[in-house]
Structure 1
Amino acid sequence: MFERFTPEARQVVEGAQQEARELRHDRIGTEHLLLALLTRQGTTSSTLLGRHGVTRAAVVTGVSRFTGPALDAEALTAVGIDLDAVRSTVEAAFGPGALDGAGGRRTRTGHIPFTPRARKVLELSLREALALKSRRITDAHLLLGLLWEGEGLAAAVLHERGVDLLALRDEVRLAANS
Structure 2
Amino acid sequence: MSEPQPQPQQRSIFDLFDDEARQAVQVARDEVARTKRNAIGPEHLTTALLKLDGAQARKLVDSVSIDAEAWVAAIDELAGVGTVEEPPQQLPFTPRGQQTMQVLVQIATSMAHDSLGSAHLLLANLQDPEGLASKGLERVSGDREALGKAIIDHLQTLPQNEQMKAQAEAMRKAQAAQQAGGAQPAARAGAPMGGGSLSPAAQRVLQAAGQQAQELRHTQIGTVHLLLALVTDPDRMTHNIFVKLGLRPEDVRSELLGQLRAESAGNVAAQAAAEPSEAESSDAGQPAQA
TM-score by length of 2: 0.46
1:165 paired residue among 127, 144, 160: 144
Say if 2:84 is the partner of 1:105.
Answer: yes
1:2 paired residue among 7, 10, 14: 14
Say if 2:43 is the partner of 1:64.
Answer: no
Partners in 2 of 1:103 and 1:41 — Cα distance?
26
Q: Structure 1 residues 131, 45: CA separation in 2 closer, same or farther (over 3 Å shift)?
A: same
1:150 paired residue among 119, 124, 129: 129
Q: Match for 1:53: what amino acid?
A: I
Paired residue for 1:30?
A: 42
Q: Match for 1:121: what amino acid?
A: T
Query: How many residues are matched?
Result: 144
Paired residue for 2:66?
A: 53
Equivalent pair of 1:37/1:143 in contact (CA under 8 Å): yes
Equivalent pair of 2:79/2:132 in contact (CA under 8 Å): no
Partners in 2 of 1:105 and 1:118 — Cα distance?
18
Equivalent pair of 2:37/2:83 in contact (CA under 8 Å): no
Per-residue CA deviation, residues 155-178 of structure 1 (Å, 9 max, x unaligned), is 110111112222211110111222
Runs of 4+ more than 6 Å apart: none
Q: Match for 1:54: what amino acid?
A: D
Equivalent pair of 1:128/1:141 in contact (CA under 8 Å): yes
Paired residue for 2:31?
A: 19
Structure 1 gap ranges (5+): 69-101
Alpha-carbon distance, 1:67 to partner: 3.3
* Greater Rg by CA: 2
Partners in 2 of 1:42 and 1:103 — Cα distance?
29
Alpha-carbon distance, 1:32 to partner: 0.6
Q: Match for 1:27: what amino acid?
A: A
Q: Structure 1 residues 115, 103: CA separation in 2 closer, same or farther (over 3 Å shift)?
A: closer
Partners in 1 of 2:82 and 2:127 — Cα distance?
31
Equivalent pair of 1:120/1:149 in contact (CA under 8 Å): no
Higher relative contact order (CA 8 A, sep 6+): 1
Paired residue for 1:141?
A: 120
2:102 paired residue among 111, 123, 130: 123
Q: Match for 1:114: what amino acid?
A: F
Alpha-carbon distance, 1:103 to partner: 5.1
Alpha-carbon distance, 1:34 to partner: 0.7
Q: Which moved more, 1:46-55 or 1:8-17?
A: 46-55
TM-score by length of 1: 0.72
Q: Match for 2:67: what amino acid?
A: V
Partners in 2 of 1:103 and 1:119 — Cα distance?
20
Alpha-carbon distance, 1:131 to partner: 1.6
Q: Structure 1 residues 5, 128: CA separation in 2 closer, same or farther (over 3 Å shift)?
A: same
Equivalent pair of 1:44/1:175 in contact (CA under 8 Å): no
Q: Which moved more, 1:139-148 or 1:127-136?
A: 127-136
Q: Structure 1 residues 177, 30: CA separation in 2 closer, same or farther (over 3 Å shift)?
A: same
Specify the SS of the correspondent of 1:170: helix
